[in-house]
Chains A and B, each alone.
Chain A
Amino acid sequence: MTPEELVERLGPRFDDISLAHGEVTVVTTRERLVEQLVALKGDPELGFDFLADVSGTDWPDRDLRFWVAYHLYSIEGKHRLRLKVGVPENDVHVPTITEVFPGADFLEREVYDMLGVEFDGHPDMRRILLPEDWDGHPHRKDEELGGVRTQYKGGAFIPPIDQRLHK
């Protein structure tokens, strides 16, 4: 199914649907996330039976700060879909999709580890990449890159590359 056909098919179900660079992106809310995924997976024409990726991004300037993107793929129809859910800073909870896609296990743990987004109902919500007692969530934009700062040239502090300009 081409991306355009996909947009047509999904149009009635989603309010926020867009097509860019040959990819279809839909935005949904966390309340409707699981039911929509079940519908997409069970749909005989769309048949999104494969979860490719779960990743999180931090947009500190928006109302909904943390965005979790689910990349779905259909093995029969060979088409892809991106589903995005946004959560605000003060309530960083998203329902887990491990019931629908067991392959989201490690992926959701990684999003929790790196961004602090908690997935309610996950069988094993712990840190996966960092040590268990680590403080903080590195992929947040207000966390520093870390490492070793160097000071030289007679005490003048030359900022490390993460603090130089270039927007």
Chain B
Amino acid sequence: MIINMGPQHPATHGVLRLVLELDGETVVSVKPIIGYLHTGIEKNCEYRSWMQAIAYVTRADYLSPLFNELAYCLGVERLLGIDAPPRAQALRVMLTELNRIASHLVYVATTGMELGAVSVMLYGFRERERILEIFEMITGLRMNHAFIRIGGLAMDLPEGVEEKIRDFLEVMPRRLDEYEKLLSHNPIWVERNLGVGYLAPERAIELSTTGPVLRASGIAKDVRKDEPYCGFEQYDFDVVTRTDSDCYARYEVRMEEMRQSMRIVGQALDSLPGGPVMVEDPKFKWPARLKVGPDGIGNSEEYVEHILGGSMEALIHHFKMVTEGVAVPAGEVYQAVESPRGELGLYVVSDGGYRPYRVHVRDPSFVNLQSFRDQVVGQMVSDVIAIGAALDPVMGGVDR
């Protein structure tokens, strides 16, 4: 019997279509059909300037937008041969680790809801709101921030945010204990997750799986430790692995990763260096020359006077910066970061112009979905939901 779990389904993470071939209740084979959220982000990036493409790349994997931006900006910075200042690097680490916690909270919330623990959904989103409030204070938006820019960050931290983050770091461990009390030894949770969706380590490597799915199979591959970026060498954290390779192990890995991320955020906040958050080159620093006016963000009056009344050259320069942006030397680079779902790689190709020539997002969920078939064969229909939830695919990244 062939069943279609259509793209609109309360329990498939986004618009994933699964065509299941069943024999009674056991799954014989599955065909995941994707593409229902294909947005043409990569093609669209080729028609925008280097800085504008950040707003597009952000929306690929929409649960971890800062990671998309980080990978893209690091790649372009490598092509340009510049380095963001140390304060920007530390803040990037802090923001992305907070994003990792937020993304894992969505995993816990939606997985809980899909497996029947509806109250976990409310708790997960309650915690996530705290993080989104912090993001809103810093970047101005709750999601899809476009805050990490080429050369650093768009703006520095506002007042009062550090305190808010420390409050969050104080409260969160108790909340995580609450989740573990609710779920970890819950007989229903254990029954539905333990031994479900086994993926052998060798097979996982063959299928290019990364992230918590791979680490739950025992292989300690983490881009933050293997190829550190943004100064990750200086932070003290553990790469979490388990050896069971089933859905329960992936749940444990993600819960522990949240705790490790909180460690990193605390260290980043404690050792935050002073200085600018953007490279001093005027080609990049432009958006940061804004001033907080009475109604929010506004133009810096002295700057406006300078370019309109002062030198003509400054006006021309400003015009060129706004319309064209920066020209990146020809070359290609592949920048990998460790996103909550695995290795997020951005392959950026430049032909020396003012616009990207080719931006390819190597999304971890897209590649991890290939292991879905191997995990599901021989399991029951209800396990399909558990396996899909433990893979944690985000269809925005899968389809781009």
A residues whose Cβ falls under 8 Å from a Cβ of B:
20-23, 25, 49-53, 55, 57-58, 69, 71, 75, 78, 80, 82, 101-107, 110, 114, 127-131, 138-139, 145-146, 161-162, 166-167
With A53-B345, A57-B357, A145-B43 given, name 16 new contacts (CB 8 A): A21-B78, A21-B331, A22-B78, A55-B360, A57-B358, A58-B358, A71-B345, A101-B206, A103-B367, A103-B370, A105-B370, A106-B370, A129-B35, A129-B38, A166-B323, A167-B353
Contact A78 B226 (CB under 8 A): yes
Contact B47 A161 (CB under 8 A): yes
Contact B347 A53 (CB under 8 A): yes
Contact B333 A55 (CB under 8 A): no
Docked complex Cα distance between A52 and B38 (Å): 21
- Mark B339-359 against chain A: 1 for CB-CB distance below 8 A, else 0: 000010101010001110110
Contact B42 A101 (CB under 8 A): no
Contact A130 B334 (CB under 8 A): no
The yes or no answer to B382 lying at the interface (CB within 8 A) is no
In the complex with contacts A20-B331, A23-B334, A107-B367, A139-B207 CB distance below 8 A: no
Q: Which residue of A lies closest to B31 (CB)?
A: A124
Contact A55 B362 (CB under 8 A): yes
A-B contact pairs, 17 of them (CB 8 A): A22-B78, A23-B333, A52-B345, A53-B334, A53-B345, A53-B347, A55-B347, A101-B208, A103-B206, A103-B208, A106-B367, A129-B34, A130-B35, A138-B40, A162-B47, A166-B324, A167-B353
Cross-interface CB contact of B354 among A80, A110, A146, A167, cutoff 8 Å? A167
Chain B residues lying within 8 Å of A25, measured Cβ to Cβ, are 332
The yes or no answer to B221 lying at the interface (CB within 8 A) is yes
CB of A130, distance to nearest CB on chain B (Å): 6
A-B CB proximity, top 3 nearest: A103-B208, A55-B360, A53-B362
Q: Which residue of B lies closest to A100 (CB)?
A: B206
Contact B347 A71 (CB under 8 A): yes
Contact B399 A129 (CB under 8 A): yes
Chain A residues lying within 8 Å of B331, measured Cβ to Cβ, are 20-21
Contact B207 A103 (CB under 8 A): yes
Q: Which residue of A lies closest to B35 (CB)?
A: A129
The yes or no answer to B263 lying at the interface (CB within 8 A) is no
CB of B321, distance to nearest CB on chain A (Å): 13
Chain B residues lying within 8 Å of A104, measured Cβ to Cβ, are 208
Contact B43 A21 (CB under 8 A): no
Cross-interface CB contact of B205 among A50, A82, A110, cutoff 8 Å? A50
Chain B residues lying within 8 Å of A107, measured Cβ to Cβ, are 366-367
Cross-interface CB contact of A130 among B38, B332, B354, cutoff 8 Å? B38
Contact B79 A21 (CB under 8 A): yes
Contact B369 A106 (CB under 8 A): yes
CB of A144, distance to nearest CB on chain B (Å): 10
Contact A102 B43 (CB under 8 A): no
Docked complex Cα distance between A80 and B35 (Å): 29
The yes or no answer to B243 lying at the interface (CB within 8 A) is no
Docked complex Cα distance between A167 and B354 (Å): 6
Contact B208 A50 (CB under 8 A): yes
Contact B35 A139 (CB under 8 A): no
Chain B residues lying within 8 Å of A82, measured Cβ to Cβ, are 332, 334
